[in-house]
Amino acid sequence: MKSKIVAFDHADSALAKVMKLCGIPDVADLHKVEGAEIAICHIGDNEDAWKTIISKSKAGSIRIRTSSVGRSGFAHEIRDGVIILELQLPHDPEKDGGVTKDQWNQILDALKTEGTAAQIVQGDVPVSLVKFFGRSDIQFLLGLSILCQGYLAVQVGPDGAPELLDPGNKIVGALKLMGWNKVLSSEESMRILDPRLTAKDRADRVSLRNDAADPSFWDVLTEPQEGKAVGTVSLLKNVWREWGPARKLEDSIFVEKLVNKIETREDQTDATLVAEAYLELDKRLGRTNAS
């Protein structure tokens, strides 16, 4: 059983406050982290401080790195025997989706069990901790594909016909692959789908189109970084990492164009580009989909 637990952050931080509620002491001195078996660390982007913490930690100890916006996209690892876990959700319970006091207690209780942290690094995340440490190897590809599907579905009417120009029938082709026309004619569509999606009046879909065209719709894929506006530069890197080393340029041209537009926070007004990108993603995910 692990017992000595500390948090590392400045005293008036959100992490320190929630840790205090959990009865975990907060330390501001790097050296006080050394002997802890579990340390919850918020160090922003001070990589030197992080290296110091890891180098001075004992093998087998657990270091949870946190952020006020969550550290999705960062991989768990074992470095020099130290188990490093990246908290996927914001450490601040006041933030949307942030980890609450009860959830922190749940996390810490689970990590006290020998072997749990190492199991997480190996990708075998206990069900109770998936929300906090679960990562998909292809979470950005899956997310991008889902957003493309949503974007494309709002471009057509209840009969499945595009309500905009579709040169080369790329939009129709993508919708067909998605199975959208079959969904529109299914019994469940009226019960489950938002009624705006199947409304006869084109004007009813305007709010959905505006939502899907807005940069904020796509921004969810970008890595929020503290102190910076949402919409940073790492999405393309993440997408290519997940795509894998066998990526061919000609198989991913439109995905790259779409991601560039997401990163520069442009409105997505080119449905053909989204359709082409979806078709490329479909090929990639159809080959090596994973959970």
Q: Which stretch binds other proteins (CB under 8 A): 43-51, 76-84, 120-128, 248-256?
A: 120-128
Minimum Å gap between C-beta 169 and other proteins is: 19
Dihedral sign of CA atoms 226, 230, 236, 242 in order: positive
Between CA 181 and CA 161 the distance in angstroms is 9
Minimum Å gap between C-beta 217 and other proteins is: 6
Report how many residues bind other proteins under the rule CB under 8 A.
55
State the amino acid at position 252 in one-letter form: S
Helices (H), the chain: 14-21, 47-55, 101-111, 116-121, 130-133, 139-153, 170-178, 180-184, 188-192, 195-198, 206-213, 215-219, 235-243, 253-263, 271-288
Q: How many CA atoms lie within 13 A of 80 on its CB side?
A: 9
256-275: contacts with other proteins (CB under 8 A): none
Q: Which stretch binds other proteins (CB under 8 A): 50-58, 102-110, 219-227, 254-262?
A: 219-227
- The phi, psi pair for 79, rounded to 5°, reads -120, 120
Q: Which two three-digit tokens encode residue 140?
A: 């950005």
Q: Which two three-digit tokens encode residue 14?
A: 């959100």
Position 183 contacts other proteins (CB under 8 A): yes
Q: Which stretch binds other proteins (CB under 8 A): 9-17, 139-147, 252-260, 263-271?
A: 139-147
Comparing CB distances to other proteins, the nearer of 35 and 179 is 179
Contacts of 279 (CB under 8 A, 6+ apart): 170, 173, 174, 177, 254
Minimum Å gap between C-beta 188 and other proteins is: 6
Q: Which of 16, 89, 99, 239 binds other proteins (CB under 8 A)?
A: 89
Q: Which of 59, 164, 192, 229 binds other proteins (CB under 8 A)?
A: 192
Position 291 contacts other proteins (CB under 8 A): yes
Q: Which of 105, 139, 225, 234 binds other proteins (CB under 8 A)?
A: 139
Site string for other proteins, 153-182 (x = CB under 8 A): x-----------------------xxxx-x
Angstrom distances, CA of residue 88 to CA of 72, 74, 198, 236: 5, 8, 35, 19
Q: Which two three-digit tokens encode residue 186?
A: 């299914």
Site residues (CB under 8 A) for other proteins? Answer: 70, 72-73, 88-89, 97, 123-125, 127, 130-131, 134-136, 139-140, 142-143, 145-147, 149-150, 153, 177-180, 182-183, 186, 188-189, 192-194, 196-197, 207-208, 211, 216-217, 219-221, 224, 281-282, 285-286, 289-291
